[in-house]
Amino acid sequence: MTQKTTKIDEEALAEAYNRALSLEKSGNYDAAAAAYREVLELDPEDHGGAAIRLASMGRGETPLKAPDAYVATLFDQHADVFDNVLVDQLAYCVPLLVRQRIQALKLGPFKRVLDLGCGTGLTGGALRDMAEDITGVDISENMIEIAHEKDLYETLYVAEAVDFLDDNDDEPFDLIVATDVLPYMGALEAFFFGAVDNLVPGGLLILSSETLPAETFAERGYVVGPHQRFAHSETYLRDRLGATGFEIVEVGDIIVRMEEGEPIAGHLVIARFKP
């Protein structure tokens, strides 16, 4: 059976998306929402992240995750300047925070490490001397090409994180690290169950998340924040990890990055798989 592919009207899509962005910036959220719905009709795979923008404006349901096409497009476009923008301009230092906590808690060294959402290799570089073997996975082909050039990983895959965890049948890892992955996922059950399936007993999962003030969540575990990324409550992270078979080693408050001059608050979570 051949799969039918729909050709996108690029001109109409660009017009609708630019109109939606302009209306959103002017504060006309109802009209912006109507334009973003036009975008979704023209591009059901949602390369521009219209569903995320609808949720961040409070004009659409919170999706379970950011669309794969959107995340891949976003990071493919920014791959060449990623390190410079993220580290130098946005003061992103989560990989170094991960390294510091591993050292402080006297964890490792590690035989096999899985770096999910490895990007250009910032976390792989921070952990290279702590691991015998590091596998990197990212949804962006352009990011993987840059990571490959750095020669930090034994193996690299272009894949979405949960899909990789579901499909992988190599031997399990003793550390899975996911820095800056959760901001593109809402519901985390599938991700945590996938991690369990790929960890040795007693293996570690280390992840970073973004968060917002408690009242913003209003009993919800995750929301799309004002910068079109998912924020998770600490309670949700603890509950879902516990329900999946992890015990919390520690949850620390961190500043993930700067955005428009403001610090973005988050958590650095270290959990151990206890079968």
- pLDDT tens digits for range 161-220: 999 999 999 999 999 999 999 999 999 999 999 999 999 999 999 999 999 999 999 989
Residue 66 forms part of a structural domain? no
Percent of the chain scoring above 70 in pLDDT: 98
Claim to verify: residue 134 and residue 238 sit in the same structural domain: yes
Residue 68 forms part of a structural domain? no
Residue 71 forms part of a structural domain? no
15 pLDDT above the threshold of 80: yes
Claim to verify: residue 208 and residue 156 sit in the same structural domain: yes
Residue 73 forms part of a structural domain? no
Chain mean pLDDT for the chain: 93
Residue 153 forms part of a structural domain? yes
Claim to verify: residue 115 and residue 225 sit in the same structural domain: yes
Residue 72 forms part of a structural domain? no
84 band by pLDDT with thresholds 50, 70 and 90? confident
What are the CA-CA distances from residue 32 to residues 12, 38, 54, 64 (Å)? 16, 10, 8, 22
How many distinct helices (H) and strands (E) make up the chain?
12, 9
Domain hosting 25: range is: 1-61
Claim to verify: residue 52 and residue 99 sit in the same structural domain: no
What are the CA-CA distances from residue 239 to residues 114, 150, 158, 227, 261 (Å)? 23, 37, 30, 25, 32
Q: How far apart are CA 215 and CA 220, in angstroms?
A: 10
Percent of the chain scoring above 90 in pLDDT: 83
Claim to verify: residue 178 and residue 258 sit in the same structural domain: yes
pLDDT one-digit tens code per residue, 100-145: 999 999 998 999 999 999 999 999 999 999 999 999 999 999 999 9
Q: How many domains does the chain have?
A: 2
Claim to verify: residue 136 and residue 259 sit in the same structural domain: yes
Mean pLDDT (whole number) for 70-98: 88
pLDDT at 4: 45
Residue 74 forms part of a structural domain? no
250 or 89, which is more confident:
250
Claim to verify: residue 233 and residue 187 sit in the same structural domain: yes
Claim to verify: residue 176 and residue 251 sit in the same structural domain: yes
Claim to verify: residue 262 and residue 183 sit in the same structural domain: yes
Q: What is the CATH number of the domain that holds 192?
A: 3.40.50.150
